[in-house]
Homo-oligomer: A and B are copies of this chain.
Amino acid sequence: MASKATTTAVPAAPSPGGPGDGCAGEPQGCCPLYHEAIELIGRRWTGAIVSVLMQAERPLRFSEIAAAVPQLSDRLLSERVKELETRGVVDRTVHTGPPVRVEYALTPMGRSLAPALRELAEWARRWLPATADRAN
């Protein structure tokens, strides 16, 4: 068992960054923008919705997104999609028809999430099956 006390100088814990912090010195810091991003994308089901739109080769209707994430209720899907639209991640297009058709697609901002989501998916594939085994 380790018991010796640390005698080296204790560097300050990383700053979370103030409101005016441009995060220049914090490659993945707990800066407000990073925090905002991870909680936007990590919100329950949001990551799944973004992923479904990312893989689609064309805009998707509400019912198509719903079919791709069957565990998600229509109410919650609607809420999440509206939030992503408000944040500029998803674009909603109404084709006035008839019949009226509403389609959703990622904006350039939304598409730019691809590298981050790809890295996260790789991490998941590499590490999560192992920990699931370990938990059994």
Contact = CB atoms under 8 A, between A and B. Distances in A.
Interface residues of A, number: 81
Contacts of A56: 11, 13-14
Contact of A13 (B14, B64, B95): B64
Copies of the protein in its oligomer? 2
B125 A33 contact: yes
A77 interface: no
Given A56-B14, A123-B37, A27 B118 contact: yes
A121 interface: yes
Contact of A34 (B1, B28, B47): B47
B68 A55 contact: no
Interface string A25-51: 011111101111111011110111001
B16 A68 contact: yes
A126 B112 contact: yes
A15 interface: yes
A94 to B, nearest CB: 8
Given A29-B121, A42-B47, A126-B112, A16 B69 contact: yes
Interface of A: 1-6, 10-11, 13-16, 22-23, 26-31, 33-39, 41-44, 46-48, 51-52, 54-58, 60, 64-65, 67-71, 87-88, 93-99, 101, 109, 112-131, 134
